[in-house]
Structure 1
C-alpha cells in the first residue's frame, strides 16, 4: 500500500507524475462515451501501444463494440515510492477492471514491444490462449528504439528538413496560455535515419513476420498502423520533417506487406490509418501542434472536433465491414476528413496568420487543450478527490 497525497508536477510541457484516480476516470469517461453493442463475433486482436492515445481508444472501442479478445502491449513504469506510476500504467489497470466487469477476455503485457523477447513472449501467449490473430493494431510512439539485431539505440527527433522552422507555439506551462515562438534547426541525415528506425515501419513488419512464422495469422488477417497527415500549417515540422519521413516509411511498409506472399496466402491486408488531430502525450510534445490543435478546436467547437474514441469507433466499423472503407489514392484509411475540410482549414489559417491576436478569441480552445493535456496524466478531471490521499502503488493487471 502506498496511500499518499500527490500534486501535479510539471516541467515545461511535460507532466512528470500521474494521479491514479484521475487516470482511471479518463478511461471510464471514454468507455462510457462508446455505445455498447455486440454482433456475436469476437475477433482476436493484438494492440501494440494500448495504454495511450489512439491505441487506447482502439482497444476500448474494440472491446465495447466488437468484443475483441487478445492482448494489449505497452511499456509503462510502476510506482517507485519517489514518483507515481506512469499514467498509462493506471489507465491499463482501469481498462482491465472495466473489461473484466464486462466479461471480456483480454490480457496485458508490460514490455518493450521493440524487443525480440517481447515478440516471442506475446506469440507464446497467443498460442496458449487465443490462437491466430484477426487484427494487429500498431500504435507505438516512443522516443527511442534499440535495434534487436545490432544493439544500436536510435533516438527519434522532431525537426524540419532542409531549412530551419520558425513558428508560433502554445506555451501552456503556466496557468494562462500564452504565445511563444519556436525555432528548430533542420534535422541531419543521421537524425532522419534514426527517426525512421524508431517511428517507421520496420518494427511493424517484424511483428507481422513473427506472427506468420508462428502460424498466428488468421484467414483474412488485417493489420493497421496509425499515422497522421495534418494541415499545411504544421507540415514543415511534421509531414515534411523527420517524423514525416518516418510516416512515409510506415506507409511504404503497408504497401510492401500487401505485396508480400505471407499476406496473400492468408488473403490478408495491411493499412496505414490516417487519424485526425488529437491531444495525446506525443502530440503535446511537438512544437506548434498544440497551438494548431487549440485553433482547430476553436473552429470546430465541442461537436465538430472528433475524439479519439469516435475515430476509433469509425475505424472498427470500416475494418469489420459495418461501413465502407474510406480510402485515399494511396490506399490509406482516412479518418481525418472532418479536420482537413477546406472551410475548416481556411478558418485555422486565418487564426494562424495573427496568433497573438487570435489567442484572445481562441482562449477557450487553448484552455481546453491545456485541460486535455493534464487529463492525460489524470489531473483536472471531474469527480476526482484531489484533496484526499490516493493509492499510487496499483499492481499491473493479471488475468483473473
Structure 2
C-alpha cells in the first residue's frame, strides 16, 4: 500500500507506520536529553497513544523509570485502512520500551466501558498489584453510556451567541469563514457528559474498590484555561462547561484520596500544543500558530514532551508547583504571560487571511500535525509500498483487546 496523507475537515484518515515510529523515536530521543527524576513506578494512562498522554508515558517511562499500562481506543490496519496513528504509536512505544528496565502493556478498548475497566484491573493485579499514578488524558467526541449503550455526543460550540470568525483548512492551506450556532442546553449537557470528570471518577472508584491504589496514589487529568482570544469557543463555550466539571471532580476526589491514601487528585492546566484534538476546535489553529510564533520569538516555546517532563519533574513530583485558586497546576505559565498574550492577539488581528501561512509558527504547527500522523519526514520515502499485512501478524500480539 502506498500511504499518503488523507484529510477530511482537518482530520487525518490515514497514518504511516514508519512515520509514527519516527515520531515516537524522536520523543524518546528528546527525553534522553532531559534529566531523570524520582516519580511513580507503576502508572496507568487512560489515553496514552497520542498527544499529552503519549508524551506523559514517554517521560514517565524514560525519565522516571516507571512501568506503564496504556488504555486507548485504536483501530488496527485492515484491508485498505492503515490503522490509526495511535495504534502505530503504541507499537513504536513498545519497541522502544524493550530497552528499558521496566514493563509496559497496552489495552485496546473503549475506556468508557465497564468491561475495559475490569480487564485493566485484572492486568494491574496480574502485573503491578497496585498503581501509584493514574493519568487521565482521554479525548473523545462521543461517550457510550456504559449501562444502556446509548451514545452521547459532544459539541464544540459557543454558548449564548453564535460564533462568526475564520479558521484554517490544513489540507488546502486556505482561510475559511466559520459560523457556529450557539449550543442548545442538550448539547451543553452532552459535552459535559462526554468531556467532563464523571468517567475519570468512575476509573478511580473502580480501581479503589479493587484494591489497586497504593499509599500516596496520585491521579491527574489535563485541562486548558486558555486566553481571552479563545474564550468564546473555549472556556465560555461548551468545552468550558465540561472543563469546569472536570476541575470540580478533581477537588471532590482530592479530599477523600488525601484522607484515605495520603494521595491527591489534581488538574494540570496545560499549554497549547499540537495534538490530534487541537485541530477540532474552531479558530484554534490560527491561535496556536500565532502563539508558536510569539513564543519562538521570545525564546520560551516548548515541545509537548518537554512540557510534560516539566510537569512531572517539577510540579507533580518536585517542589516547584505553581497552583491557582482552584488548585490547578499552572504549567501553562509561559503561554499566559501578559506579553505573550498581548503579542499573540496582535498577530491574530494582523494575520487574518492567507498571510498567516507566512509565519514560522504556522509552518511549525503544520509540520507537527503531519508528524502526529506519521507524515512529513524527509528521510521516509512516501512513494514506497508498505505491506501492512506482512507486519501486522508480528505485532498484533502486543496488545490486549476489548472489542
Range into which the TM-score falls when normalised by the shorter chain = over 0.9
8 Å Cα contact 1:294-1:362 kept in structure 2: no
- State the alpha-carbon separation in 2 of the partners of residues 344 and 148 from structure 1: 43
Q: Deviations over 1:92-146 (max 9, x none)?
A: 0000000012232011110101000011110011111101110000000011101
Structure-2 change in CA distance of 1:357 and 1:288 (3 Å)? closer
Q: Give yes or no for the alignment of 1:101 onto 2:99.
A: yes
- State the alpha-carbon separation in 2 of the partners of residues 209 and 384 from structure 1: 45
SS, match of residue 261 in structure 2: coil
Question: CA offset at residue 61 of structure 1?
Answer: 0.5
Question: CA offset at residue 359 of structure 1?
Answer: 2.9
Which residue is 2:268 aligned to?
Answer: 273
- State the alpha-carbon separation in 1 of the partners of residues 67 and 159 from structure 2: 42
Which residue is 1:137 aligned to?
Answer: 135
Which residue is 1:322 aligned to?
Answer: 318
The residue correspondences of 1:248-259 to structure 2 (distance < 5 A) are: 248-259=244-255
- State the alpha-carbon separation in 1 of the partners of residues 15 and 357 from structure 2: 31
8 Å Cα contact 1:359-1:366 kept in structure 2: no
Question: CA offset at residue 365 of structure 1?
Answer: 2.1
Which residue is 1:74 aligned to?
Answer: 72
Structure-2 change in CA distance of 1:43 and 1:84 (3 Å)? same
> How many residues are paired up?
393
Q: Structure 1: any 5+ residue segments left out of the alignment?
A: none
Question: CA offset at residue 42 of structure 1?
Answer: 5.7
Q: Deviations over 1:272-322 (max 9, x none)?
A: 111000111111111100010111111122753221101110111135533
Q: State the superposition RMSD in angstroms.
A: 1.8
- State the alpha-carbon separation in 1 of the partners of residues 366 and 171 from structure 2: 9
SS, match of residue 97 in structure 1: helix
Which residue is 1:128 aligned to?
Answer: 126
Structure-2 change in CA distance of 1:361 and 1:70 (3 Å)? closer
8 Å Cα contact 2:39-2:317 kept in structure 1: no
Q: Give yes or no for the alignment of 1:157 onto 2:152.
A: no
Which residue is 2:386 aligned to?
Answer: 390
8 Å Cα contact 1:96-1:397 kept in structure 2: no
8 Å Cα contact 2:174-2:354 kept in structure 1: no
Q: Give yes or no for the alignment of 1:246 onto 2:242.
A: yes
8 Å Cα contact 1:70-1:126 kept in structure 2: no
Which residue is 2:20 aligned to?
Answer: 23
List, as ranges, runs of 4+ consecutive aligned residues in structure 1 with deviation greater than 4 Å: 36-42
8 Å Cα contact 2:315-2:322 kept in structure 1: no
Question: CA offset at residue 263 of structure 1?
Answer: 4.5
Which residue is 1:297 aligned to?
Answer: 292
- State the alpha-carbon separation in 2 of the partners of residues 27 and 139 from structure 1: 18
Q: Deviations over 1:192-236 (max 9, x none)?
A: 111111100000000000011011111011000011111110110
Structure-2 change in CA distance of 1:42 and 1:340 (3 Å)? closer
- State the alpha-carbon separation in 1 of the partners of residues 226 and 388 from structure 2: 37
Structure-2 change in CA distance of 1:397 and 1:91 (3 Å)? farther
SS, match of residue 222 in structure 1: strand
1:51 is aligned, of 49, 52, 60, to: 49
Q: In terms of mean alpha carbon deviation, does 161-170 or 18-27 score higher?
A: 161-170
8 Å Cα contact 1:113-1:119 kept in structure 2: yes
SS, match of residue 18 in structure 1: coil
- State the alpha-carbon separation in 2 of the partners of residues 342 and 88 from structure 1: 35
8 Å Cα contact 2:270-2:331 kept in structure 1: yes
8 Å Cα contact 2:24-2:93 kept in structure 1: yes
8 Å Cα contact 1:351-1:358 kept in structure 2: no
SS, match of residue 298 in structure 1: helix
- State the alpha-carbon separation in 2 of the partners of residues 387 and 288 from structure 1: 33
Question: CA offset at residue 358 of structure 1?
Answer: 8.4
- State the alpha-carbon separation in 1 of the partners of residues 278 and 203 from structure 2: 25
- State the alpha-carbon separation in 2 of the partners of residues 207 and 189 from structure 1: 27
Question: CA offset at residue 366 of structure 1?
Answer: 2.0
8 Å Cα contact 2:141-2:194 kept in structure 1: yes
Q: Deviations over 1:29-60 (max 9, x none)?
A: 11111136556766110010000100000000
Q: Structure 2: any 5+ residue segments left out of the alignment?
A: none
Which residue is 2:62 aligned to?
Answer: 64
2:281 is aligned, of 283, 286, 301, to: 286
- State the alpha-carbon separation in 2 of the partners of residues 396 and 104 from structure 1: 21
